[in-house]
């Protein structure tokens, strides 16, 4: 087994290096830029940095004032790693990368910089593969879990092509699940709070985790440890106007609230919240073992994606649970997974070309600025109609997973 895992890992690392070197998305630049801003002495006030610049400042010709719209650990960690690793890149190329990206196309230094900016993700990504292995006892299933994660296209695309950091909170969530299996619930919930400090979705897992405790005082301690971890990491920045405007209340965090049923001129039922409350109540009254906790995490993620117009990188959050389901079911649910993946990758083509054809501009500069895939093949679909169709396909797959994993009464043994 060790030899097989080593071969899979070696091929996976080579693939990750290649994708890191050859692809670019504009979202990777702000993480690098943040390191420069923070290193200039802007610690608790770095969210306000762009807001205080004069209107004619060069940065504002490239970036909006609300550029920094993620929680603080994102910029301190990725910006800090950037400062430590990118010193070997030509300063001129590095500066142009932030202020005038097209001018860097065709320069090998750009490829080096892209690799260094994505390098921090390798640890979290590969660690997830090893944790997923630990959820299975059978050697073949261990290998399948490892291999499916190493070669899963969603993670490769979002992490090494887009350069997004969603693999970090995903790792923290899966690590928390592993600790829950070991009955280390306080450490588990702290990891969820830390994960929420990168992306808020791990907060959805804290209550299902706390309900592993049988007494309410124990549950309250687990809840408190998770939420306090999240709030402690955000607290130093709450006095920053920029933080409150762009990160604490970023528009991305409220997308799940858009799906509503109007019941009067000014009142609606928010579907996401209604289903979350319903599931939490079910979880309270139907007990679960730590070994089956992943199913409840999975249901929370399905609920989010059903009611949200999500960004492509967010789908990394749910991918470990899709892997666990596929391996656990001995691939019986491959049709459902195929439908979900079809929906995901077709929906990507309806975003801007920066998510598709422009990605490979670092190896072919002529791709930069050309039209999107559908325009290139001469087809102009109604984007809203097609998005609705393929999102509905995913919802159909999600309902099937709900049918499989919705909490059921345990059979009493006589």
pLDDT at 409: 63
- The answer to whether position 257 is within a domain reads no
Calculate the CA dihedral of residues 324, 18, 119, 92 and round it to 10 degrees.
-150
The number of folded domains in the chain is 1
Is the predicted pLDDT of residue 295 greater than 90, yes or no? yes
Mean pLDDT of the chain: 90
Mean pLDDT, residues 190-201: 94
* pLDDT greater at residue 144 or residue 46: 144
In this prediction, residue 412 has a pLDDT band, given cuts at 50, 70 and 90, of very low
Q: What is the pLDDT of residues 102-142, one digit of tens each?
A: 999 999 999 999 999 999 999 999 999 999 999 999 889 99
Structure tokens at 149: 């994660």
pLDDT at 335: 95
Mean pLDDT, residues 230-258: 78
Is the predicted pLDDT of residue 414 greater than 60, yes or no? no
* pTM (predicted TM-score): 0.93
* pLDDT greater at residue 372 or residue 102: 102
Is the predicted pLDDT of residue 293 greater than 50, yes or no? yes
- The answer to whether position 258 is within a domain reads no
Is 219 in contact with 225 (CB distance < 8 Å)? no
pLDDT at 253: 66
- The answer to whether position 318 is within a domain reads yes
Residue percentage of the chain with pLDDT more than 90 = 63
Domain that holds residue 22: 2-249+268-405
- The answer to whether position 255 is within a domain reads no
pLDDT at 386: 86
In this prediction, residue 392 has a pLDDT band, given cuts at 50, 70 and 90, of very high
Is 187 in contact with 179 (CB distance < 8 Å)? yes
pLDDT at 211: 95
Q: At what angle do helices 121-134 and 167-181 cross, to 10 degrees?
A: 30
* pLDDT greater at residue 294 or residue 234: 294
pLDDT at 261: 85
* pLDDT greater at residue 68 or residue 400: 400
CA–CA separation, 49 and 68 (whole Å): 10
- The answer to whether position 412 is within a domain reads no
CA–CA separation, 28 and 354 (whole Å): 12
Q: What is the pLDDT of residues 30-89, one digit of tens each?
A: 999 988 888 888 887 888 888 888 988 888 988 888 888 888 899 999 988 998 888 889
Is the predicted pLDDT of residue 163 greater than 90, yes or no? yes
Q: Three-class SS string for the chain?
A: CHHHHHHHHHHHHHHHHHHHHHCCCCCHHHHHHHHHHHHCCCCCCHHHCHHHCCCCCHHHHCCCCCCCCCCHHHHHHHHHHHHHHHHHCCHHHHHHHHHCHHHHCCCHHHHHHHHHHHCCHHHHHHHHHHHHHHCCCCHHHHHHHHHHHHCCHHHHHHHHHCCCCCHHHHHHHHHHHHHHHCCCHHHHHHHHHHHHCCCCCCHHHHHHHHCCCCCHHHHHHHHHHHHHHHHHHHHHHCCCHHHHHHCCCCHHHHHHHCCEEECCCCCEEEHHHHHHHHHHHHHHHCCCCHHHHHHHHHHHHHHHHHCCCCCHHHHHHHHHHHHHHHHHCCCCCHHHHHHHHHHHHHHHCCCCHHHCHHHHCCCCHHHCCCCCHHHHCCCCCCHHHHHHHHHHHHHHHHHHHHHHHCCCCCCCCC
- The answer to whether position 303 is within a domain reads yes
Mean pLDDT, residues 282-304: 93
- The answer to whether position 259 is within a domain reads no
In this prediction, residue 250 has a pLDDT band, given cuts at 50, 70 and 90, of low
Is the predicted pLDDT of residue 252 greater than 90, yes or no? no
pLDDT at 413: 41
Q: What is the pLDDT of residues 330-358, one digit of tens each?
A: 999 999 999 999 999 999 988 888 899 99
- The answer to whether position 254 is within a domain reads no
């Amino acid at each position: 087994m060790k030899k097989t895992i080593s071969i899979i890992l070696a091929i996976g690392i080579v693939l990750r290096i290649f994708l890191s070197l050859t692809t670019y998305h504009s979202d990777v630049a702000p993480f690098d830029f943040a390191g420069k801003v923070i290193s200039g002495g802007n610690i608790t006030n770095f969210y306000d940095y762009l807001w205080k610049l004069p209107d004619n400042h060069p940065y504002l010709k490239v970036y909006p004032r609300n550029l920094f719209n993620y929680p603080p650990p994102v910029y301190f960690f990725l910006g800090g790693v950037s400062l430590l690793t990118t010193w070997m890149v030509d300063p001129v190329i590095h500066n142009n990368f932030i202020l005038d990206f097209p001018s860097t196309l065709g320069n090998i230094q750009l490829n080096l910089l892209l690799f260094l900016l994505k390098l921090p993700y390798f640890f979290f990504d590969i660690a997830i593969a090893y944790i997923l292995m630990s959820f299975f006892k059978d050697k073949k299933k261990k290998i399948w879990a490892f291999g499916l994660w190493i070669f899963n296209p969603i993670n490769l695309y979002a992490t090494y092509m887009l350069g997004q950091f969603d693999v970090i909170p995903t790792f923290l969530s899966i690590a928390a699940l592993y600790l829950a299996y070991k009955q280390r619930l306080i450490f588990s919930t702290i990891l969820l709070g830390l994960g929420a400090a990168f992306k808020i979705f791990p907060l959805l897992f804290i209550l299902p985790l706390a309900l592993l405790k049988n007494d309410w005082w124990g549950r309250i301690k687990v809840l408190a440890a998770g939420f306090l971890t999240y709030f402690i990491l955000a607290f130093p920045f709450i006095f920053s106007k920029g933080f409150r405007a762009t990160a604490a209340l970023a528009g991305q965090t409220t997308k799940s609230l858009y799906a509503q049923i109007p019941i009067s001129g000014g009142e609606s039922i928010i579907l996401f919240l209604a289903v979350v409350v319903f599931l939490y109540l079910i979880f309270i009254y139907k007990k679960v073992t730590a070994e089956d906790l992943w199913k409840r995490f999975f249901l929370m993620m399905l609920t989010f994606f059903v009611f949200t117009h999500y960004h492509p990188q967010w789908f990394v959050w749910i991918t470990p649970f899709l892997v666990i389901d596929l391996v656990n079911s001995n691939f019986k649910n491959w049709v459902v997974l195929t439908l979900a993946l079809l929906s995901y990758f077709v929906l990507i083509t309806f975003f801007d070309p920066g998510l598709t054809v422009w990605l490979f501009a670092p190896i072919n500069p002529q791709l930069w600025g050309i039209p999107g895939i559908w325009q290139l093949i001469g087809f102009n679909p109604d984007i809203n109609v097609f998005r609705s169709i393929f999102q509905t396909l995913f919802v159909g797959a999600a309902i099937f997973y709900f049918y499989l994993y919705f909490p059921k009464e345990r059979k009493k043994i006589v």
